[in-house]
Chains A and B, each alone.
Chain A
Amino acid sequence: MATISAAPAPGMQQIDLSKLNLHQLAQLKQQLDQELNVFQDSLQTLKIAQGKFVESGESVEKITPQTKGKTVLVPLTGSMYVPGTIIDTDNVIIDIGTGYYAQKDIDGGKDYFKRKVEFVTEQMEKIQALAVEKSKAREAICMMLEMKLQAQSQAQKPSTS
Chain B
Amino acid sequence: MTEEIQKKLQKELEIFNGVQKEYHKAMAQKQQLDSQLNENKAVKEELMLLKKDAEVYKLIGPVLIKQDLEEARQNVAKRMEYINKEMKRTDDHISALENKQEALQENLNKLKNDLGKMKIKA
The reply to whether the CB of B1 lies closer than 8 angstroms to some CB of chain A is no
Known A-B contacts A98-B76, A99-B59; A104 and B54 likewise in contact (beta carbons under 8 Å): yes
The residue from B42, B54, B76, B79 contacting A103, defined by CB atoms under 8 A apart: B54
Interface of chain A, main secondary structure: strand
A-contact 0/1 string along B37-65, CB 8 Å cutoff = 00110110011001000111111100010
Contact A101 B59 (CB under 8 A): yes
Contact A100 B39 (CB under 8 A): no
The residue from B47, B55, B64, B79 contacting A96, defined by CB atoms under 8 A apart: B47
CB-defined contacts of B43 to chain A, threshold 8 Å:
96-98, 100
Q: How far is the CA of A97 from the CA of B40 in the complex (A)?
A: 7
The reply to whether the CB of B27 lies closer than 8 angstroms to some CB of chain A is no
The reply to whether the CB of A9 lies closer than 8 angstroms to some CB of chain B is no
The reply to whether the CB of A147 lies closer than 8 angstroms to some CB of chain B is no
Contact A101 B64 (CB under 8 A): yes
Number of A residues with CB within 8 Å of any CB on chain B: 12
The reply to whether the CB of A74 lies closer than 8 angstroms to some CB of chain B is no
Q: How far is the CA of A99 from the CA of B42 in the complex (A)?
A: 12
B-contact 0/1 string along A101-136, CB 8 Å cutoff = 111100000001000000000000000000000000
The reply to whether the CB of B72 lies closer than 8 angstroms to some CB of chain A is yes
The residue from A98, A101, A102, A104 contacting B39, defined by CB atoms under 8 A apart: A98
Which A-chain residue is minimally distant from B42 (CB atoms)?
A97
Contact B47 A100 (CB under 8 A): yes
What residues of chain B have their CB less than 8 Å away from a CB belonging to chain A?
Answer: 39-40, 42-43, 46-47, 50, 54-60, 64, 67, 72, 76, 79
What residues of chain A have their CB less than 8 Å away from a CB belonging to chain B?
Answer: 93, 95-104, 112
Known: A97-B40, A97-B46, A103-B57. 8 other contacts (CB 8 A): A93-B57, A93-B64, A97-B43, A98-B43, A99-B58, A100-B56, A100-B59, A104-B50
